[in-house]
A and B are shown apart, each in its own frame.
Chain A
Amino acid sequence: MSAALLRVEGLTVAFGHGRGRNVAVEGLSYHLDAGETLAIVGESGSGKSVSSMALLGLLPPRTAHIEGGRALYRGDDLLSLPEAGLRALRGNRIAMIFQEPMTSLTPVIRIGQQLTEALEEHRGLSGAEARDKALEMLRLVDLSDPPRRMRQFPHELSGGMRQRVMIAMAMALEPDILIADEPTTALDVTVQAQILDLMRDVQARFGTAILLITHDMGVVAEMADRVVVMNKGRKVEEGPVGAIFARPQAEYTARLLAAVPRLGARREEDGPRPVTADPARPGEVVLHAEGLGKTFAGRGGLFRKAAGTVAMDDVGFTVRAGETLALVGESGSGKSTSGRAVLRLLEVDEGRIELEGEDLRALPHGSLRKARRAMQMVFQDPFAALNPRMSVGRLIGEPMYIHGIAQGAELQDRVAELLRRVGLEADHMQRYPHEFSGGQRQRICIARALGVEPKLIVADEPTSALDVSVQAQVLELMLELQQSMGLAYLFISHDMAVVEEMAHRVAVMRAGRIVEMGPRRDVLGDPRHPYTSALLAAVPRPDPTALRGKLPKLDLDTLPMGALRQAAPNHWVAA
């Protein structure tokens, strides 16, 4: 190998001073060779993002301090370079793309101008030259109709398209190094696969070295040549991607890899993994929904009504006691709307929702409040789902108090018991939500839901805001509770590997409709709908030796989106 393009030595970054000093990165060293992809992986708080922001002088001024280390790039130390010197490199020799493509494009400036600006500034191109180059770049990142895109504003593009624009912008100056900070985390899995393919293409074409910062082992396996594993600000391991996955040396790496759900791991099994001695089997029907429809009103003018957005169209399913039905799909598929509709947190336009045979939509306000006892919800963002001004004890006790299940000392005892049940401690009752970590907060949410002994829990992406090791614990807890208490779960998720681990049955949603539904083993193992196949094919495998193949081309116009027909026993597919 040639000499390293970028060599980072002993990088130390801290926030604050004195007693409040918090070391985010400590003594981090690595090197990046020309044309390779180095992945820096770690969970939240590992310092992976901070360390790369430090390279470009993008740390929040005043609060963050680079306390030591060097970052050598072509003889310059990036860490001690004056601002003017950095600016000449930034976006020019070293480009960066971010997780959230909406916020990293200026909302009030047309795409074309944002693209040409850097070209004129750094390359001294004339207006027409810059424009030609910008059009060429947009074509290169596979955006349709580049001249039109040039005139559009960022909000007119989808998330995937914006990330393509970001890549076009980053690559237009043909940088030596591209720093990609969680470039696909905010994107749907099929879009993620396309963007990753694009990044590889672009890299091959320009010979750019990519510094990829991610938490997703699947993305690492797919993209990286070498891997640096970080934990709590320190590098715990470094090596070629194959070795890291096959023979992790550090205990942390091994634990991280073990916690990653792998699609296909339970291909031959019928249900989720038994975690109790005598798991409850699926029993009576708890929830039955049919013909649910919901259209969100469009923003019409004063005199005309705009066409609305169809969030749900003829959605129907049943969930039995002790059973998990997973609703999977990408953003905008209507899976969350369906979950909230079932709980009547959102009023549907049409359809029937039965909880243990009782028609929920016919219930008046008062009876509905009583009926809520049987159905509870666990939310995606466990911090936002807890009222920040209530103590954990009050939060967990509230549903029980509302439904008159317990009061006073008895309520305290039940809360303490619930806290222990979800792996926390009874004396955490006096604490407030902000004192807990993400995983602990999600346990609190689960404890709150359990207090009223519900029959059904709707879990809306309960682990997608959590680190992978914490996700594994929360999923484990949910399995254990289901198997010992016979809970019915409506499990909403975009993550196929998690679904495989949790679900008995799966319903795949797209554009407000269920396109395929059946036993999990059949739907994931033998998908009959082209959209399900495409979703499964796009999932990155956390295994560098078994890479996903080329993406199947989906023809959205001819995708069958009609009524469900039985394709195999209990296996329904849209015609």
Chain B
Amino acid sequence: MSAPDATQLEPAAALAPPARKLGALRALLRSPSGAVGLAIVAVLVIAAVFAPLIAPHDPFRMAAGPRLAPPSADHLMGTDQLGRDVFSRIVYGARLTLQIGVIAVGISLTAGLLLGLVAGYAGGWPERILMRLVDVLFSFTEIVIALACLAILGVGLVNAMIAIGIASIPFYARITHSVVLVEKNKPYFEAAIAAGASRLRLIFVHLLPNVIPTLIVVGTLGVSTAVLAAAGLSFLGLGAQPPQPEWGFMLSSSRDLIARAPWMMIFPGLAIAITVLGFNLLGDGVREVLDPRQRAR
């Protein structure tokens, strides 16, 4: 019997119709945590973008109503000691929160990604030096590094974002590094070397796209950490300054009035908690969607 013809047994038409890109969003919505997380984050983004339309009052105007008024139809979440509308301040605060998330995570992700990529790709002594440096930074609590950065940069919300960003660089560097080490040992990477690819090509065409999915997941989860850290710094008076409607700062300025006006503390606290929950759920959902074990069957 002769050997089968080279094309006979596997008809090309046997390929499934191409799966289209839209699938990612649909898959995200199908996972319960992804759908809830996406909804919360969407509400946050809408609040930030359309703050002037949503907020019933000017968040900075004092005596928009009576001082320390409890929640009512006019002031959904009551007013603070200066008579500012708490609901409006929380809506405007969403802008700051998103800024914190994007800027802090942006800084740590970019720097950590580059560090991890270079260290993981280069190997040898550059890797050892870079990663030991990262280990040293890792041995300090993030908040300590952030405080040190603030001591140098000075107090302020933008500086707090930068400080938080710098403080979590080691985290992202480590994750990138470990993913690179895995990817670097896969045959496709060797195949690219064998094809004669340059170093830049190896790093940016072959390694980077395979590292990014992991980092999207980690970055999404990282937003919640950054929001929490910024709220903490603002609570300590090192981040947002009056009259900025930052949630953490609102918490701290209500500290003395907790018995008389609990709404001043409850609503910013809830906003922080729900936001953190939202990004965590979204991160989990994204992880499910991007999990290579589910993609590559």
- Residues of A participating in the B interface, judged by any CB pair closer than 8 Å: 254-255, 258-259, 340, 343, 345, 369-370, 372-373, 375-377, 379-381, 383-390, 398-399, 402-403, 423-425, 428, 430-431, 434-437, 439-440, 445, 448, 452, 469-470, 472-473, 476-477, 480
Contacts and interface: CB of A to CB of B under 8 A. Distances in A.
A389 B210 contact: yes
Interface in B160-217: 186-188, 190-198, 201, 205-206, 209-210
A387 B188 contact: yes
Nearest to B16: A435
A473 B4 contact: yes
9 shortest interchain CB distances as A-B pairs: A372-B196, A399-B195, A423-B7, A385-B187, A258-B1, A389-B209, A369-B196, A387-B188, A425-B12
Interface centre among B10, B18, B192, B195 (most CB of A within 10 A): B195
B6 interface: yes
B186 A469 contact: no
Contact of A402 (B3, B195, B292): B195
A502 to B, nearest CB: 12
Contact of A398 (B6, B18, B192): B192
Given A376-B194, A434-B297, A470 B9 contact: yes
A390 B208 CA distance: 12
Given A377-B191, A428-B15, A473 B1 contact: no
A423 B1 CA distance: 21
26 contacts: A345-B193, A345-B194, A369-B196, A372-B193, A372-B195, A384-B188, A385-B188, A385-B191, A386-B191, A387-B188, A387-B210, A388-B210, A388-B292, A390-B209, A398-B197, A399-B196, A402-B201, A428-B15, A434-B295, A434-B296, A434-B297, A435-B15, A437-B10, A469-B4, A472-B4, A473-B4
A469 B15 CA distance: 18
A373 B3 CA distance: 32
Contacts of A448: 191, 195
B12 A402 contact: no
Interface string B230-264: 00000000000000000000000000000000000
A384 B194 contact: no
A106 to B, nearest CB: 23
B206 A435 contact: no
A24 B197 CA distance: 42
A386 B195 contact: no
A440 B194 contact: no
Contact of B192 (A380, A387, A476): A387
B4 A372 contact: no
B198 A435 contact: no
Contacts of B205: 390
A283 to B, nearest CB: 23
Contacts of A423: 6-7, 10
Given A387-B209, A435-B18, A437-B10, 9 more contacts: A254-B1, A255-B4, A387-B188, A402-B201, A423-B7, A469-B9, A473-B9, A473-B10, A477-B6
A379 B7 contact: no
A403 B296 contact: no
